[in-house]
Amino acid sequence: MNKIMLFLMGTLLLSSNALAEVCIPKDAEAAEQAVDHLTSWQVMNDNFTRFHQCDEGSIAEGNSEAVIRLLVDKWETLPKLSVLTRQNAAFETWVLSHIDSTLDSGDLQTTVNLATSQCPASESTLCRKIVKAAQAAIHESNS
């Protein structure tokens, strides 16, 4: 009897976690509105935590634009990004996935230049990942 209860409770927990990953319309609307306010890495991280399940279509494109704007326009905040990505590897993966071919090739090239010439020594690993993602996006957009 106890094994059956444990199995049912485990199944219930797994199914409730799966449901939490579905982008419901209310979340999609909130994520769409939030895109215009992603002005810092902390806000971006909070947005990722709250709405990662809604990251597709126009929301994903908006997230990509917000990522590149922070990299190009606020490069000096890279150490904050580094702190957040060390705390949450999934956030790092998400940020890097948003350095993509939907972005302006000039912004992608600027990101490569910044990451190769103005990378703080303590952030060299993150900079290499950024360069790799940006170069792949440039290559993909040129194909």
Confidence check: pLDDT of 139 > 50 = yes
pTM, two decimals, is 0.85
Confidence check: pLDDT of 19 > 70 = no
Confidence check: pLDDT of 3 > 70 = no
Question: Which tens digits make up the pLDDT trace of 62-73?
Answer: 999 999 999 999
Lowest model confidence (mean pLDDT) among 20-34, 63-77, 82-96 = 20-34
Question: For residue 21, what pLDDT is reported?
Answer: 84
Buried b (16+ CB within 10 A) or exposed e, 55-93: beeebbebbbbbbbebbbeebeebebbbebbeeeeebbe
